[in-house]
Amino acid sequence: MKKLGRVGLVLGVLTLTGTLGCEGAPDPAKEHRIKATNHFNKKEFKQAAAEYELSLQADPNQEKSWKEKAFAHQQVGEHEKAGEALLKYVEFVKNPTEKTDLYRVAADEFRQAGKVEDAEKALLQVLATKGTNEEKSELYRVIADQYRQAGNLDQAEAKFNEALKLNPKDEASLGWLAAIYSKRGGTENAQATAVPEHLDKAIAYLDQVVALNPDYPFTYINKRIVMAKYIQYEQQQQTTLEAEARTNKNKAKSAEAMAQAAEHLKKAQEYQKQYEDLTNVFKEKQEKFKAKQAAEKAAKEAAQPPAPTPAPNK
């Protein structure tokens, strides 16, 4: 997300002096705002934020001070406080596009602070500005990805599913759901125990992605990763059952274990074949994908007007 731009405060000579020369009762909001601005100009952002806090406590209806406060917190990595100040500032903003951008910046500040629920609330303020289901689906996908990055896969899954309700052909959400179930299935760690029901769901989501976009090569790689975990699982089951058959003195149970081991061997071989097929498909799709990208780049370059020829020297 983009950083906030500095709001220039025109305070005249008071900005530099930090004192008030007017008669009557002191104005704590103005006094602290002047101190804040002096600290800000010296890039003493932590002190500036503290003075803006005191100024805004005295008078919360200072539009620009809220943004300056947010910027100061942002500069020292106080992301939650930056997000909170931004939400106060956005209450004064009238332009819908600017409001949308500010809610997104606030959401990113909350995300960096680990406050994903607050980030979601900020982003949901943007939802009303979205006209189509595709745009709303994209927004839910952003929310889902923030939960995913925070390690909350259950909430991420729920939000990706919200995106799919709005747009069942949301290829990206389907791909992320596949990634979530692939992870739950144990693919990210060779030592992790495979969970077949999660691997099955990962494959089902990946098959939906392939149906929507059969020419995208990397979906086949992701499916191949799931197949590799399945191969490992079936081979482990085979090894376990063969060992049981060898040590079991009951001939009937030993024979049953060997039969089950043979079934797992057969499945492992089937998955190995699928793995090899996916490798070949990936190579084919990748070549076409690269060729398409190169053609699009060449077409774009050809469409650009030629550079003007410099005039000859006289």
Start-to-end C-alpha separation, the chain: 51
For 157, which DSSP code? H
Least confident of 10-24, 115-129, 150-164, 227-241: 10-24
Per-residue pLDDT, 127: 83
184 neighbors 153 (Cβ within 8 angstroms): yes
Band of residue 11 on the pLDDT scale cut at 50, 70, 90: very low
pLDDT value at residue 128:
77
Judge whether 156 and 148 are in contact, CB under 8 Å: yes
What gap in Å lies between CA 217 and CA 206, rounded to an integer? 12
CB 198 within 8 Å of CB 185: yes
Cβ atoms < 10 Å from Cβ of 127: 13
Residues 182-209: tens digit of each pLDDT: 999 999 998 999 999 999 999 999 999 9
- Tokens matching residue 104: 């997104």
- Looking at residue 13, its pLDDT comes to 27
Provide the CATH number for the domain formed by 13-18+27-129 in this structure.
1.25.40.10
Q: Which of 72, 98, 96, 100 is closest to 84 using CA atoms? A: 72
Distance CA 227, CA 96 (A): 48
CA distances from 267 to 185, 189, 226, 262 (A): 17, 21, 14, 9
Query: Would you give the DSSP letter of residue 6?
Result: P
Answer whether residue 34 shows pLDDT above 90. yes
Distance CA 32, CA 82 (A): 19
Residue 217: how many other CB atoms lie within 10 Å: 16
In the chain, which ranges are continuous DSSP H helix?
Answer: 14-17, 28-41, 45-58, 63-75, 79-90, 96-112, 116-127, 133-149, 153-166, 171-184, 196-212, 218-247, 251-303
CA 224 vs. chain centroid, Å, equals 24
Residue type, 58: A
User: Quick check: helix, strand or coil at residue 42?
Assistant: coil
CA atoms within 13 A on the CB side of 41: 13
CA angle 245, 251, 254 (to 5 degrees): 20
pLDDT score for 3: 52
Return the DSSP state at 193: P
Average pLDDT over residues 1-6: 48
Tokens at 45, concatenated: 């952002």
250, pLDDT greater than 60: yes
Q: Are 52 and 33 in contact (CB under 8 A)?
A: yes
Q: How far apart are CA 74 and CA 68, in angstroms?
A: 10
Taking the domains of the chain in order of start, what are their residue ranges?
A: 13-18+27-129
pLDDT at 150: 87
Mean pLDDT, rounded, of the chain: 88
Q: What does the pLDDT look like over 79-109, one tens digit per residue?
A: 999 999 999 999 999 988 898 899 989 999 9
Q: What is the pLDDT of residues 114-143, one digit of tens each?
A: 899 999 999 888 887 777 899 899 999 999
CA distance 282 to 84: 47
pLDDT at residue 19, rounded to an integer? 39
